Amino acid sequence: MTYQVRTVQTAAEAPASLWAEGFGAPLEGRWWYETLEKSGLEDQFTFLYALIERDGTVVGLAPLFVADVPIELVVPEEIMPLFKAVGRLLPSVLVQRTLFVGSPCSDEGTVGITAGEDRPAVMLALASALDGIAARHRAPMIVWKDINDQHAADMALVTSKAGFFPSVSYPGAEIDFVSTRKDDYFARMKPSHRQQLRRKLRRSCEQAPLDISVIQQPAPDEMAEVFGLFMQTYERATTQFERLDIRFFNEIATHEEAWFILLRHKEDARLVAFMLCFKLGDTVINKFIGLDYERPKDWMLYFRLWDACVDWCLAQGVSKLQSGQTGYRVKIELGNGLTPLTNYGRHRNPLVNAVYAYVGKTISWATLDPDLAHHLEAHPDNAKAAPAAWTEPTPPKD
């Protein structure tokens, strides 16, 4: 079969049927990409969408974006001196303009493909077209962002025939609920973590009487409080990629998938913590949080917020809670498991691509994040399951 690939600028230009088929729950769908388009992110990202066609019919859809990425976000710390040395001669090396397949603010890159279509062929057609798309946007680097193991075989074909190299990415964090009983959630935690969490919750309840509400479409004054707490938390983050302003929160609140968990202090009624969640079928995504860092540390607001989220998920009959990338130490203590994800990259300069491919082989969970390194050192059993380096799967037969 012969496929053609073209790009459009907005999510609305892609067929609604393909959004529904390829990006249904538990994935973030068309509503998510339209939100990003309306959130004033033009200074950070250029959004576009690849449409893969066969005989004039769109059979595949891939969200794309272009961003300037500081190299320290993706290169292990021990290798950074080499890049800084090269950067003195070639400053562009330190900030890499990159074409991504996937979405900012989302864990897993997805390509929607019509059922019954030759999936490997569609993926390869897209991969082959990315070089031209990247050239038009002056992006020397191409990255297929955060692919889960379910699509490893498809991506093996991309690596073998389109010249992409794999590298370990930040894992996702998630909890599978086996029932709607909270005791079952606690029972699946490591005993020491369970005891620590219960102790923290008791201490917090003694120190901070809080009212909990779960709402949609906060009023303007409530949204101003939400955004203020978000910015407090954003400014303390060690890893910052996207910068969101209140336009994003106002827009996302118009969609039925978005829910806000709000914690208010009973004495002064001020908002002290929030969590923005997406409810997608039987899955909830913990998307963004905000905490009032002016409050005493022994209020342990993060744990109270997490506890409120778990209660809401169980009341809704949710089977999975996804909590995103980074912040692993606390998430592991709260019972989250880690989901391996892989990036696939290619630099349009063959020499630079060879260097990046070599660097990609050195990346592991331990090199990506100090919390992960500490966790793997303390828990050798988990270290055995973690991807220390990339092992390439067998590509599907032609």
> What is the torsion angle, in degrees rounded to the nearest 10, for the CA atoms of residue 272, residue 266, residue 225 and residue 197?
20
Nearest to 60 by CA among 19, 31, 29, 32: 19
Is the per-residue pLDDT at 152 higher than 50?
yes
Is the per-residue pLDDT at 231 higher than 80?
yes
Architecture of the 4-171+340-385 domain: 3-Layer(aba) Sandwich (3.40)
Local confidence band at 393 (pLDDT 50, 70, 90 cut-offs): very low
pLDDT of residue 384: 45
Q: Identify which has the larger pLDDT, 385 or 280.
A: 280
Nearest-angstrom CA–CA distance, 313 and 336 = 14
Nearest-angstrom CA–CA distance, 199 and 303 = 11
Nearest-angstrom CA–CA distance, 147 and 385 = 17
- 301-327 per-position pLDDT tens digit: 999 999 999 999 999 999 999 998 888
Local confidence band at 94 (pLDDT 50, 70, 90 cut-offs): confident
Domain boundaries, the chain: 4-171+340-385, 173-337
With H, G, I as helix, E, B as strand and everything else as coil, classify residue 146: strand
Nearest-angstrom CA–CA distance, 28 and 277 = 12
With H, G, I as helix, E, B as strand and everything else as coil, classify residue 114: coil
Q: Identify which has the larger pLDDT, 158 or 40.
A: 40
**Cα 257 to the center of its chain, rounded Å:** 17
Average pLDDT over residues 49-65: 97
Q: Which residues contact 371 (CB under 8 A, 6 or more apart)?
A: 327, 328, 329, 332
Is the per-residue pLDDT at 387 higher than 80?
no
The mean of the pLDDT values for the chain is 91
Q: Identify which has the larger pLDDT, 239 or 135.
A: 135
Nearest to 193 by CA among 337, 395, 82: 337
- 320-361 per-position pLDDT tens digit: 999 988 889 999 999 999 999 999 999 999 988 998 898 889
Q: Identify which has the larger pLDDT, 395 or 153.
A: 153
DSSP H/E element including 374: helix 370-378
Q: Are 242 and 104 in contact (CB under 8 A)?
A: yes
Whether 4-171+340-385 and 173-337 share one fold: the answer is yes
pLDDT of residue 241: 75
The predicted model scores a pTM of 0.91
Per CATH, the number for 173-337 is 3.40.630.30
pLDDT of residue 105: 86
Is the per-residue pLDDT at 76 higher than 70?
no
With H, G, I as helix, E, B as strand and everything else as coil, classify residue 27: coil
Q: Give me 209's structure tokens.
A: 């009487």
